[in-house]
Structure 1
Amino acid sequence: MLALRIALRYLFAKKSHAAVNIISMISMAGIAVAAMAMVCVLSVFNGFTDLASSRLSAIDPEIKVTLPYGAVIADGDSLSCIVASVPGVAAVRQVLEQRALAVSDGDQMPVKVRGIEEGYSDVSTLSELVIDGEMVDSPSMNCALLSVGVAIRTGARPAYESTFFLTVPRRLGRINPAFPMAAFRTDTLVVSGVYQTNQGEYDEDLVFIPLRSARTLFDYSTEATSLDVAVDSGFSIPQVVDGISSRLGDGYIVADRLKQQESSFRMIEIEKWITFLMLLFVLVMASFNILSTMSMLIIEKEDNMRILTSLGASRGMLRRIFLEEGMLIAVMGGIIGV
């Protein structure tokens, strides 16, 4: 403790050369600024993660059940009943997703069509992102909910008198070369609303339609590409994921929101840690200023060192005095920065 008390006195005592005090303050300020930058930047990246999670949670369900390699689930109704029986599952809704060509008022574009089952609001808060019109998922009304990108490129707007066409190649049946148009199937829908998530993946080319309409358009009966699951408030998501996985076996992929957007969140994490390493390097470089401060202080206190040696101080004690003073500068700078 004697070495620490001497180091504290050297740190706060007035020096005979003002340059020593100035260099000490510069060293402390450099560490403080580097520490402050690390806290601020990492907090911003954590905010990016939370923001991405909050925006994606409006589209992505809490849990999604799919087959590997994008295969279609043969009997979505039966699988939905099995998943619904797992403890902690509050709701299960089937989804069928395929590609199609959208046409409206002469404008056309390829889109990703996602057929959703009635009551889809039980597993998603998509309706909260509607910026024009409303979300209608009733099978009795053949309505489409467009992303803002589709609405802009096709000129479609929510109106019951306007029509929106989806065209796809027939999946089943034989093709008549004499009548090529028979090789395509077209469905006419009414645009009920337009949504916006501020996420390019979902705002560019995604269209939501009723599941029954999607199955008719793509020549399916009970098939689905995924099951969207909502978790009961009394259960945790990992707990329900484990329950569904054990019930279905290894043939299915059961993913929470983090796994559904694994590439996006991994990119944010990589950027965060690269930035952290860069700021850590800056902090290390700032810490080297302490060496110059200690060198100046040793020269300043050379007479004091002779007196302490005469009183019986060892060389190890003298080293600890300046080592602990350097640590005090680093710790105080870090605390100020934080």
Structure 2
Amino acid sequence: MFGPFERMVAWRYLRARKGERFVSITAAFSLLGIALGVAALIIVMAVMNGFRQDLVGRIIGLNGHLTVHPASGRALPDHEALVERLRSLPGVTQAAPTVEGQVLLTGEGGGAAGGLVRGIEPGDLEARRVVARGIRRGRLDDFGPEDTAVVGIRLAAKMGLRLGDRITLVLPQARGSDFSAAPKQRGFRVVAMFDAGMPEYDGRQVYIPLEAAQSFFGLGEAVSQVELFVADPSQVAPVTEAVRAALAGQPLRIADWQGANSSIYAAVVVERNVMFLILTLIVLVAAFNIISSLTMLVKDKGRDIAILRTMGASSGAILRIFLLCGATVGCGGTLIGFALGLGIATNFDGLRAALLALEGTPLFRPELLFLTQMPAVVEPREVVSVLLMGLGLSLLATLYPSWRAARIDPAQALRHG
């Protein structure tokens, strides 16, 4: 497409020579601008992907991907047969019966707080990796006897709890007649403390054995709900439909994690799209810089263009010369930004550790400490789309100045040059 003559002239125009350094410096800044824009777009998209994946993983790692509730009331009887049926469905990896309820918590030191108690089997709790990997004090193996409890580390700090202390659960519901009404309470020994990295859970969550929760809340052999985990949380919709079909006609209510956390999920998606739009504008501004620098080059080389035309160069050759000049700046900057952004995104963990060590002080408050552990996830389709967008904008930016260069009248240029 580009002949030796056109490549030679384009290269001479791009080189900085005496008296022409301003145009070349402008082209260099245009290249740097589009490189930084593309690199920033790739890095921020990778970080946003990592943030979304980490946040969603923490939320659904604690609550399950699907939840089956009773349509009315708070008890789900005959849950053993229901659990076995749900475990046999394709895509379901775990079905855990649980009991859930709001209580008042009191500690030995006099601390009190509201909390969310969840009764669960020890094996099902161990299968929840967010809790199992987040144990900071104690051992999850000690959870099992009816008087044991696993609490969030921020809740323990707020109530002044230590391992081995007893925490009392108070259920402020009347028992008996109006004159004999009294709250129900029961004590549990704290055997472990977990840190899920989210204050909403670490500051109010308490796990107790399933049988103890059934007895405490007066459910007998029933449970509050059955939580399901699927192989691919992003593809939860087909499994939801399969569960609905399997439980059709039964007085049950089914909710998936996307519906239960729709506001959080939507906010993350909107923020990601807005960041993509903002950073795309940076690349667009860099593309306009290419237009301005190439327009200045055309104006500066007007007499040279006229001489080339009188020596036999066609308007198509002039067009291709300036297309090559603009493409060298734009596409070169895009490729440099692609390499820089991909290099930083794929080595984000090491660079983050170096930045934290250099800073010497925490970048985030303890409530947002999980941000310092947030991964960067590079999605190939996004990187390719950013690369193609950068190349496309760079090529589009060269069209108008190149067309103007090809339309220069040699006689007019020589007369006014």
TM tier relative to shorter chain? 0.7 to 0.9
Q: 1:301 to 1:88 in 2, by over 3 A?
A: closer
Q: 1:29 to 1:85 in 2, by over 3 A?
A: closer
Structure 1 residues 204-227: Cα deviation after superposition (integer angstroms, max 9, x where no partner): 111111111112222212433332
Q: 1:260 to 1:134 in 2, by over 3 A?
A: farther
Code of the residue aligned with 2:68 in structure 1: it is T
- Aligned pair partner of 1:24 in 21, 27, 38: 27
Q: 1:321 to 1:121 in 2, by over 3 A?
A: same
Asked whether the 8 Å contact 1:60–1:124 carries over to 2, the reply is no
3-state secondary structure, aligned to 1:72: coil
TM-score by length of 2: 0.69
3-state secondary structure, aligned to 1:27: helix
* 1:204 aligned onto 2:184: no
- Aligned pair partner of 1:119 in 117, 123, 148: 123
Q: 1:306 to 1:71 in 2, by over 3 A?
A: farther
3-state secondary structure, aligned to 1:221: coil
Structure 1 residues 150-206: Cα deviation after superposition (integer angstroms, max 9, x where no partner): 2112222221xx3211111337x5432x34xx3311111111111111111211111
* 1:170 aligned onto 2:156: no
TM-score by length of 1: 0.83
Match of 1:110 in 2: 114
Match of 1:275 in 2: 275
3-state secondary structure, aligned to 1:156: coil
- Aligned pair partner of 1:144 in 130, 134, 149: 149
Query: Once structures 1 and 2 are overlaid, which stretch shifts more, 301-310 or 274-283?
Result: 301-310
Q: Distance in 1 between matches of 2:70 and 2:311?
A: 78
Deviation at 1:94, TM superposition (A): 0.6
Number of aligned pairs?
A: 327
Code of the residue aligned with 1:302 in structure 2: it is G
Q: 1:83 to 1:18 in 2, by over 3 A?
A: same
Structure 1 residues 1-48: Cα deviation after superposition (integer angstroms, max 9, x where no partner): 248647743554555612221111111111111111112222222222
Q: 1:71 to 1:322 in 2, by over 3 A?
A: farther
Asked whether the 8 Å contact 1:150–1:204 carries over to 2, the reply is yes
Q: 1:298 to 1:71 in 2, by over 3 A?
A: farther
Code of the residue aligned with 1:65 in structure 2: it is T
Asked whether the 8 Å contact 1:127–1:134 carries over to 2, the reply is no
Q: 1:64 to 1:73 in 2, by over 3 A?
A: farther
Query: Once structures 1 and 2 are overlaid, which stretch shifts more, 101-110 or 242-251?
Result: 242-251
Structure 1 residues 100-121: Cα deviation after superposition (integer angstroms, max 9, x where no partner): 0001122211111111124214
Code of the residue aligned with 1:157 in structure 2: it is R
Match of 1:327 in 2: 327
Q: 1:147 to 1:104 in 2, by over 3 A?
A: same
Q: Which has the higher helix share?
A: 2
Query: Once structures 1 and 2 are overlaid, which stretch shifts more, 303-312 or 33-42?
Result: 303-312
Code of the residue aligned with 1:116 in structure 2: it is I
CA RMSD of aligned residues (A): 3.1
3-state secondary structure, aligned to 2:48: helix
Q: Distance in 2 between matches of 1:70 and 1:300?
A: 80
Q: Distance in 2 between matches of 1:11 and 1:252?
A: 71
Asked whether the 8 Å contact 1:117–1:137 carries over to 2, the reply is no
Alignment of 1:1-338 (within 5 A): 1-2=1-2, 5=7, 8-10=10-12, 12-13=14-15, 15=17, 17-56=20-59, 58-61=61-64, 63-67=65-69, 72-75=74-77, 76-105=79-108, 106-121=110-125, 123-125=127-129, 126-135=131-140, 136-138=142-144, 140-159=145-164, 162-170=165-173, 174-176=176-178, 178-179=179-180, 182-231=181-230, 240-249=239-248, 251-255=252-256, 261-310=261-310, 315=315, 318-319=318-319, 321-338=321-338
3-state secondary structure, aligned to 1:115: strand
Runs of 5+ unmatched residues, structure 1: none
Q: Greater relative contact order: 1 or 2 (C-alpha under 8 angstroms, separation 6 or more)?
A: 1
Runs of 5+ unmatched residues, structure 2: 339-417
Code of the residue aligned with 1:228 in structure 2: it is E
Code of the residue aligned with 1:115 in structure 2: it is G
Q: Distance in 2 between matches of 1:88 and 1:184?
A: 43
Aligned identity (percent) is 24
Q: Distance in 2 between matches of 1:39 and 1:122?
A: 37
